Structure 1
Amino acid sequence: MLQTTFIILTLLTMFLLYRGTGKNKQVVFLIFFWQLIIGFLSFTEVFKNTPLLFPLAIVGTIIITVFCVSKLATEKLNTDYLLGIHMIRIPVELCLYQLFLDAQIPKIMTFSGYNFDILIGISALALVLYRFLKKKDISKRYFKTWNIIGILFLSSIVIIAILSAPLPIQQFAFDQPNIALLEFPYSMLPTCIVPIVFISHIMLLKKL
Structure 2
Amino acid sequence: MRTTAIVLIGWFALAIVFAVLEAYHAEADHIPTIQYGIFVPILIGGFLVLRSPSVKQVIDAVPQQWIVGVQVYRALGVIFLILYATDRLPGLFAWPAGLGDVLVGVLAPVVALAYARAPHVNADLVSLWNIFGLVDLVVAVSTGVLTSPSPVQLFAFDQPNELITVFPLVLIPVFLVPVSVLLHLISLTKLNEPSPQSQSE
Q: With structure 2 as the length reference, what TM-score do the two structures score?
A: 0.76
Match of 1:93 among 69, 77, 80: 77
Q: Secondary structure at the match of 1:47?
A: coil
| 2:64 corresponds to 1:79 | yes
Match of 1:207 among 190, 193, 197: 190
Q: Which ranges in structure 1 are unaligned for 5 or more consecutive residues?
A: 1-21
CA distances 1:27-47 after superposition (whole Å, capped 9, x unpaired): 3144223213223213xx872
| 2:175 corresponds to 1:197 | no
Percent of pairs with identical residues: 22
| 2:109 corresponds to 1:125 | yes
Tell me how far 1:196 sits from its aligned partner. 0.6
The alignment covers a number of residue pairs equal to: 181
Q: Secondary structure at the match of 1:168?
A: coil
Report the residue type matching 2:108 in the other structure.
A
Q: Secondary structure at the match of 2:33?
A: helix
Partner residue of 1:153? 136
RMSD, aligned α-carbons: 2.7
Partner residue of 2:30? 52
Partner residue of 2:127? 144
Q: Secondary structure at the match of 1:52?
A: coil
**Contact 2:146–2:154 (8 Å) recurs in 1:** yes
Tell me how far 1:96 sits from its aligned partner. 0.9
Match of 2:8 among 12, 16, 28: 28
Tell me how far 1:152 sits from its aligned partner. 1.1
**Contact 1:51–1:167 (8 Å) recurs in 2:** yes
Report the residue type matching 2:82 in the other structure.
Q
Q: Secondary structure at the match of 1:88?
A: helix
Select between 161-170 and 136-145 the one with higher mean Cα deviation: 136-145
Per the alignment, do residues 39 and 151 of structure 1 end up closer, same or farther by CA in structure 2, a change over 3 Å counting?
same
In structure 1, what is the Cα distance between the partners aligned to 2:149 and 2:140?
A: 16
Tell me how far 1:51 sits from its aligned partner. 7.4
Per the alignment, do residues 201 and 166 of structure 1 end up closer, same or farther by CA in structure 2, a change over 3 Å counting?
same
Match of 1:37 among 17, 34, 38: 17
Q: Secondary structure at the match of 1:178?
A: coil
In structure 1, what is the Cα distance between the partners aligned to 2:62 and 2:68?
A: 11
Match of 2:167 among 172, 184, 190: 184
Considering only CA atoms, is the larger Rg found in Structure 1 or Structure 2? 2
Match of 2:46 among 69, 74, 79: 69
In structure 2, what is the Cα distance between the partners aligned to 1:130 and 1:87?
A: 15
In structure 2, what is the Cα distance between the partners aligned to 1:98 and 1:147?
A: 25
Tell me how far 1:175 sits from its aligned partner. 1.5
In structure 1, what is the Cα distance between the partners aligned to 2:161 and 2:82?
A: 13
Tell me how far 1:149 sits from its aligned partner. 1.8
In structure 2, what is the Cα distance between the partners aligned to 1:139 and 1:51?
A: 49
Select between 76-85 and 178-187 the one with higher mean Cα deviation: 76-85
**Contact 2:93–2:144 (8 Å) recurs in 1:** yes
